[in-house]
C-alpha cells in the first residue's frame, strides 16, 4: 500500500490557525537565524525579491529590495503575514505553493530569491529537480539565491556557484545556510 | 521509440505515475536523442523519440510542463474529449484522485510545446462497440477542441491501446496515424507501438564512475562525499579510495558506506599507483576523480556526461573551477582568476576552449584540471596514469589528446576547488613529527628497561605458570596489597621478561604507586614485544594523559581503539581525552559510537550531556540527562545538571 510522505495542506492550515505556531518570536534560535541571514546577505541593493515559504513573514520585511513578494502555501500564514506588515507598501504576500509559481501570470524575474524551510520531503517529496527548474526560471542570471534549511531534512544542492555555506545550531538540529550566485 | 506517460507528480502512488525527479532524469537522458513530433517521426531512425501523454491530467500541466519547457522538447497530448476539466471518477477504485486539465491548461500546454491529439470522446473500448455510428462519433473531434490547437488533432490514440481491422479502417478516414500500446508495431503508421514509461525507465547511453581520492583530508571528507551524493544526475558508481591515511578519514567515509564503495590501501601507493588502482576497481564508461578536499557542484556529472555523450571525438570533458577556502585569494592571484561578483571569498577560474591547435599547447601548459571526466577507453589506450615530471593528470590528458582524441570544454564552474589554510597543512606536519619523536623515545626507553631487567634479575625466584602468575598479581592489586603485588610481579617478570601482559601488570602497579615514569617505560617496552596490545596502548595513553602529554596520549588511545574498536573503557577514555583537548567533534563521534554499542552506558550518556551543555545545545543535553535518569533514577549529577539547565 502506498503511503504518501506529503503533508496534507489541511494539516498545515490547522497548524497556522494560531499565531506564530513555531514560536519564532522571542526564540533565541530563530533570532540567531535572522542574524545569520543578515550576516551572509550580500551587501547590495536588490530590485525584485521573492521569499518562498515566508510563513507569517518572519524574515520577509527585513529583506532588502524595492519590491518584495512573499509566498507561502498556507492561506492562514499569509493572512498573518499581511496583518503584521500592513504598513509596508513595497511588500506583497500571496498564498501559493512553490509548484504553483510557474503557472502564475506575474513578472517572473527576481534578483534575489530566499527559500526557507521548504525543500523537505513532507513538502516536495521527489520534487527537487522540478524545484530547481522552477527557481531557475524565476531567478535572473547574476541573481542571488539564499537557501536556509534544517540540514538533517534537506537533500538539495543548487547547480549555482556557492558564495558561502554556513552551518549553525538550530534547536535540536543543524541549519545549513547557503548563498548562491546564478 | 514512442514514449507513453500518463501522470507526473511529486511522488508516484501507482505505476501510472512517474515522479518529477525521475521524469526530469528521463528528459535529461533524452538529450542524446532527437525528440520530434509524430508528424516528423521516422520509425526506422533509432535516434528519434516522441514523448506522448494520455489523459490529459492536470498534473502534466503543473509538474511536467515546466520541465518539458526547460528542455525545449515538443510533445504530444492525447486528450479524451469528455474528461476535460473533470475528475477521474471512473477509475478511483484503483487510482488516487487526479483532475484532468481544463481548456486553459490545455492551451498553456500547447503554448509550451505540446500538440493536442485525439484519444476518443469518452474512452470506451471501440473494438467492443457494435454500433458504427458510435465508433465514428467517438473518433470525431468537436470544433471547440480543435480550436485549442489548429496544428494538432491529426493523430489518434486507441482507447486501452486496443484496435482491430474495422477500427483501423475507420481511423484511416479521420487521422494521419494512430498509436497503440499493446499490439502495435514499428511499421504501420496506424498502429505504432508505444513504450509505457515508469520511474525506473532509463534512456542513458553511458555510465559514470566517480572516484573520491583521499589522503588525510579528514574534516573535508563529508563535504566532498555530500557534494557527490547530491548530484542532479547520480553517477552509476561511487568509489572512495584512501591511500593509507594516518587520520580518521576512512572512519568518516564509512558513515556513507551504504551509498558508496570504500577501498583503503594497506600501503601508501602514491598518486600514480593509487589512481590506476582506483580506475581498475570501477567499470563505468566515463571516469572522474574528485580530491576529497574539493567539491563538485551538483550539476558536474550532468554537464560533463552530456558533453561526452554528445561529442564522440572528445575523450575528456573539462570545466571551469570556482576557487574557495581560506587561501583562495592567494591561489586566485597566481591563477589569474577573477573574484566572483558580490563576494571576496570565491574566485572564478576560466580555461580556454579546446581546438586541435590547442593540442600542442597542452603538452607544455595545462588547462585541463585533474577532476575532468574522461573515457575509460582512452585511458586504457594510452596506458593509464604514468610517472612523469608533469603532474600525473596533465600527463595522462596530454597523451590522450596526442593520440587524436579531442577535449571539450564545459563552460560552467562545476569544480569547487578548495585552497587550504596553512594551519591545516601544519597540523598534519606536526602530527607526523610527533610520531617520529615518539618512535625515537620508545627506543631510548627500551634501553632503560633492559638495565632495569638486569637490576632485578637474580633476586627473583623461579615462577612457572604465566597466566596463574598474572592473575595472582591482579588479585593482590584488587585486594589493595600493592607491595605484595609488586614483589610477585617482579618475580614473574624475571621468569617471563618478554611477556607483554606481565610487563603491563608490572606497569599498572608502578602507576598505582604513583611512579608514572617507570610505568611509562615498562608499557613502552611491552609494546615493543607486542605492538598490537590494545590494553597496553590504553594504559600508556592514560599515563601520558596524567603527565599532560596530550598528543601522545591521544595517539595511544586511538591505537587502542583501532585494535579493540568495541571496548567501552577504551572508547570512554578516547572520548574524554578528545573533549579535554578541545576536539569536541571527535569526542561527540566517539560517544556516538559508544551509544550505538552500549545504548545503556550512563557514563557515555553523561559525557554526551556534558558536551552538549558546554556547546549550549541545551535541548540535547536535557535529552541525554533524562535518559540517564531513566536508567539510574537516583543519579545525582544528572539531576543537578538538569536542574541547572532548567533554571
Q: What is the ipTM of this complex?
A: 0.96
Check if B584 contacts A (Cβ < 8 Å): no
Q: Answer yes or no: do A102 and B232 touch at CB < 8 A.
A: no
- Show residues of chain A in contact with B111, CB under 8 Å: none
Per-residue pLDDT band for B212 (boundaries 50, 70, 90) equals very high
- What's residue B421's pLDDT? 65
Nearest to B392 by CA among B282, B273, B288: B273
Q: Answer yes or no: do B66 and A133 touch at CB < 8 A.
A: yes
Q: Which of A127, A156, A161 sits opposite B10 (nearest CB)?
A: A127
Task: Give the gap in angstroms from C-alpha A177 to the nearest C-alpha of chain B.
Answer: 14
- Show residues of chain B in contact with A174, CB under 8 Å: none
Check if A2 contacts B (Cβ < 8 Å): yes
CA–CA dist B61, B74 (Å, integer): 14
pLDDT tens, B51-95? 999 999 999 999 999 999 999 999 999 999 999 999 887 777 788
Q: Answer yes or no: do A130 and B65 touch at CB < 8 A.
A: no
Burial of B646 per CB tally in 10 Å (0-12, 13-18, 19+): exposed
Per-residue pLDDT band for A133 (boundaries 50, 70, 90) equals very high
Mutate to test the interface with A, among B68, B70, B96, B326 (most CBs of A within 10 A): B70
Closest residue in chain A to residue B413, using alpha carbons only: A161
Among A residues 9-28, those touching chain B with beta carbons less than 8 Å apart: none
Query: Quick count: other Cβ atoms within 10 Å of Cβ B207?
Result: 15
Antiparallel, parallel or unpaired: β A91-95 and B75-79: unpaired
Strand partners, B314: B406
- Give the three cell numbers for residue B196: 509505457
- What's the whole-number mean pLDDT along residues B635-646? 88
- What's the whole-number mean pLDDT along residues B485-490? 85
Per-residue pLDDT band for B534 (boundaries 50, 70, 90) equals very high
Closest residue in chain A to residue B339, using alpha carbons only: A163
| Percentages (nearest 5) of helix, strand, coil residues in chain A | 30, 30, 40
- Show residues of chain B in contact with A175, CB under 8 Å: none
Query: Quick count: other Cβ atoms within 10 Å of Cβ A45?
Result: 9
The model's pTM: 0.74
pLDDT tens, B5-56? 999 999 999 999 999 999 999 999 999 999 999 999 999 999 999 999 999 9
Q: Answer yes or no: do B11 and A136 touch at CB < 8 A.
A: no
- From the centroid of its chain, how far is CA B83? 45
- What's residue B444's pLDDT? 64
Q: Answer yes or no: do B346 and A102 touch at CB < 8 A.
A: no
Task: Give the gap in angstroms from C-alpha B643 to the nearest C-alpha of chain A.
Answer: 19
Check if A134 contacts B (Cβ < 8 Å): yes
C-alpha distances out from residue B524 to B47, B487, B490, B519, B547, Å: 71, 21, 17, 9, 15
Inter-helix orientation angle B500-512/B466-479, to 10°: 10
With beta carbons less than 8 A apart as the criterion, state whether B639 and B606 touch.
Answer: no
Task: Give chain A's mean pLDDT.
Answer: 92
Q: Answer yes or no: do A127 and B324 touch at CB < 8 A.
A: no
Nearest to B51 by CA among B3, B110, B109: B3
User: E strands within B43-125?
Assistant: 48-55, 75-79, 114-118
Q: Answer yes or no: do B61 and A103 touch at CB < 8 A.
A: yes
Nearest to B473 by CA among B486, B463, B462: B486
- What's residue B427's pLDDT? 47
Nearest to B540 by CA among B558, B561, B519: B519
- What's residue B330's pLDDT? 87
- What's residue B251's pLDDT? 86
- Give the three cell numbers for residue B423: 594551519
Strand partners, B417: B323
- What's residue B323's pLDDT? 96
Give yes or no for residue B604 having a pLDDT over 50.
yes
Sheet holding A173-181, edge to edge: A91-95, A67-72, A48-52, A110-116, A139-150, A173-181, A161-170
Give yes or no for residue B602 having a pLDDT over 50.
yes
pLDDT tens, B220-249? 898 999 999 999 999 999 999 999 999 888
Report percent pLDDT > 90 for chain B.
61
CA–CA dist B231, B254 (Å, integer): 20
Give yes or no for residue B298 having a pLDDT over 90.
yes
Size of interface A-B (CB pairs under 8 A): 106
Task: Give chain B's mean pLDDT.
Answer: 90
CA–CA dist B407, B314 (Å, integer): 5
- What's residue B456's pLDDT? 59
CA–CA dist B608, B575 (Å, integer): 9
CA–CA dist B183, B171 (Å, integer): 16
Look at B388 and B433; give whichever has higher pLDDT: B388
B112 backbone dihedrals φ, ψ, rounded to 5°: -90, 10
Amino acid at each position: 500500500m502506498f503511503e504518501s510522505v506529503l503533508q496534507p495542506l489541511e494539516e498545515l492550515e490547522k497548524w497556522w490557525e494560531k499565531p506564530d505556531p513555531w514560536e519564532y518570536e522571542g526564540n533565541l534560535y530563530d533570532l540567531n537565524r535572522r542574524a545569520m541571514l543578515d550576516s551572509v546577505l550580500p551587501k547590495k541593493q536588490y530590485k525584485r525579491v521573492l521569499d518562498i515559504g515566508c510563513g507569517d513573514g518572519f524574515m520577509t520585511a527585513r529583506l532588502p529590495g524595492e519590491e518584495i513578494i512573499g509566498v507561502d502555501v498556507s492561506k492562514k500564514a499569509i493572512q498573518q503575514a499581511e496583518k503584521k506588515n500592513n504598513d509596508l507598501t513595497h511588500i506583497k504576500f500571496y498564498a501559493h505553493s512553490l509548484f504553483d509559481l510557474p503557472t502564475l501570470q506575474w513578472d517572473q524575474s527576481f534578483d534575489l530569491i530566499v527559500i526557507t524551510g521548504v525543500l523537505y520531503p513532507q513538502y516536495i517529496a521527489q520534487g527537487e529537480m522540478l524545484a530547481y527548474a522552477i527557481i531557475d526560471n524565476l531567478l535572473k542570471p547574476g541573481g542571488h539565491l539564499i537557501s536556509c534549511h534544517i540540514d538533517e531534512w534537506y537533500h538539495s544542492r543548487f547547480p549555482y556557484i556557492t558564495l558561502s555555506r554556513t552551518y549553525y545550531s538550530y534547536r535540536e538540529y543543524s541549519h545549513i545556510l547557503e548563498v548562491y550566485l546564478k | 521509440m514512442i514514449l507513453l506517460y500518463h501522470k507526473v507528480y511529486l511522488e508516484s502512488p501507482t505505476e501510472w505515475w512517474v515522479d518529477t525527479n525521475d521524469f526530469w532524469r528521463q528528459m535529461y537522458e533524452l538529450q542524446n536523442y532527437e525528440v520530434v513530433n509524430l508528424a516528423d517521426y521516422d520509425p526506422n531512425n533509432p535516434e528519434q523519440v516522441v514523448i506522448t501523454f494520455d489523459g490529459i491530467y492536470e498534473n502534466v500541466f503543473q509538474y511536467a510542463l515546466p520541465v518539458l519547457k526547460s528542455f525545449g522538447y515538443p510533445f504530444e497530448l492525447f486528450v479524451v474529449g469528455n474528461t476535460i476539466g473533470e475528475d477521474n471518477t471512473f477509475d478511483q477504485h484503483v487510482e488516487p484522485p487526479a483532475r484532468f486539465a481544463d481548456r486553459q491548461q490545455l492551451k498553456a500546454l500547447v503554448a509550451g510545446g505540446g500538440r493536442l491529439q485525439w484519444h476518443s470522446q469518452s474512452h470506451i473500448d471501440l473494438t467492443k462497440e457494435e454500433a458504427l455510428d458510435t465508433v465514428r462519433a467517438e473518433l470525431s473531434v468537436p470544433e471547440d477542441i480543435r480550436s485549442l490547437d489548429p496544428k494538432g488533432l491529426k493523430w489518434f490514440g486507441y482507447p486501452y491501446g486496443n484496435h482491430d481491422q474495422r477500427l483501423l479502417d475507420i481511423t484511416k478516414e479521420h487521422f494521419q496515424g494512430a498509436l497503440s500500446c499493446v499490439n502495435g508495431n514499428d511499421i504501420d503508421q496506424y498502429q505504432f507501438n508505444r513504450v509505457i514509461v515508469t520511474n525506473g525507465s532509463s534512456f542513458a547511453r553511458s555510465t559514470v564512475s566517480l572516484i573520491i581520492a583521499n589522503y588525510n583530508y579528514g574534516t573535508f571528507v563529508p563535504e566532498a562525499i555530500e557534494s557527490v551524493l547530491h548530484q542532479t544526475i547520480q553517477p552509476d558508481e561511487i568509489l572512495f579510495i584512501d591511500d593509507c591515511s594516518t587520520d580518521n578519514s576512512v572512519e568518516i567515509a564509512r558513515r556513507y558506506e551504504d551509498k558508496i564503495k570504500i577501498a583503503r590501501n594497506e600501503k601508501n601507493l602514491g598518486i600514480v599507483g593509487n589512481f590506476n588502482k582506483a580506475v581498475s576497481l570501477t567499470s563505468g564508461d566515463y571516469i572522474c576523480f574528485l580530491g576529497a578536499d574539493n567539491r563538485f557542484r551538483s550539476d558536474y556529472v550532468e554537464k560533463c556526461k552530456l558533453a561526452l555523450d554528445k561529442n564522440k571525438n572528445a575523450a575528456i570533458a573539462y570545466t571551469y573551477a570556482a576557487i574557495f577556502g581560506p587561501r583562495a585569494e592567494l591561489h586566485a592571484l597566481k591563477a589569474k582568476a577573477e573574484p566572483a561578483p558580490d563576494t571576496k571569498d570565491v574566485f572564478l577560474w576560466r580555461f580556454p576552449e579546446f581546438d586541435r591547435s590547442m593540442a600542442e599547447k597542452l603538452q607544455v601548459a595545462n588547462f585541463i584540471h585533474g577532476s575532468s571526466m574522461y573515457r575509460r577507453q582512452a585511458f586504457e589506450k594510452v596506458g593509464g596514469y604514468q610517472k612523469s615530471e608533469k603532474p600525473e593528470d596533465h600527463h595522462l590528458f596530454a597523451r590522450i589528446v596526442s593520440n587524436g582524441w579531442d577535449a571539450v570544454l564545459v563552460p560552467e564552474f562545476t569544480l569547487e576547488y578548495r585552497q587550504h589554510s596553512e594551519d591545516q597543512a601544519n597540523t598534519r606536519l606536526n602530527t607526523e613529527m610527533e610520531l617520529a619523536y615518539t618512535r625515537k623515545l620508545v627506543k631510548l626507553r627500551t634501553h632503560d628497561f633492559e638495565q632495569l631487567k638486569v637490576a632485578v634479575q637474580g633476586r627473583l625466584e623461579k615462577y612457572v605458570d604465566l597466566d596463574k602468575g598474572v592473575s595472582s598479581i591482579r588479585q593482590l592489586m584488587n585486594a589493595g596489597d600493592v607491595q605484595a603485588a609488586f614483589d610477585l610481579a617482579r618475580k614473574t617478570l624475571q621468569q617471563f621478561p618478554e611477556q607483554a601482559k606481565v610487563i603491563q601488570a608490572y606497569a599498572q602497579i608502578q602507576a598505582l604507586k604513583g611512579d608514572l615514569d617507570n610505568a611509562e617505560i615498562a608499557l613502552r617496552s611491552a609494546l615493543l614485544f607486542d605492538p598490537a596490545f590494545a590494553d597496553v596502548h590504553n594504559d600508556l595513553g592514560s599515563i601520558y594523559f596524567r603527565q599532560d602529554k596530550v598528543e601522545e596520549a591521544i595517539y595511544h588511545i586511538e591505537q587502542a581503539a583501532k585494535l579493540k574498536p568495541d571496548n567501552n573503557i577504551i572508547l570512554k577514555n578516547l572520548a574524554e581525552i578528545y573533549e579535554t583537548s578541545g576536539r569536541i567533534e571527535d569526542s561527540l563521534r566517539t560517544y556516538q559510537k559508544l551509544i550505538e554499542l552500549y545504548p545503556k552506558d550512563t557514563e557515555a550518556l553523561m559525557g554526551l550531556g556534558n558536551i552538549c551543555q558546554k556547546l549550549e545545545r541545551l535541548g540535547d543535553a536535557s535529552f541525554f540527562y533524562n535518559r540517564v535518569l531513566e536508567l539510574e533514577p537516583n543519579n545525582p549529577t544528572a539531576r543537578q545538571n538538569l536542574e541547572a539547565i532548567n533554571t
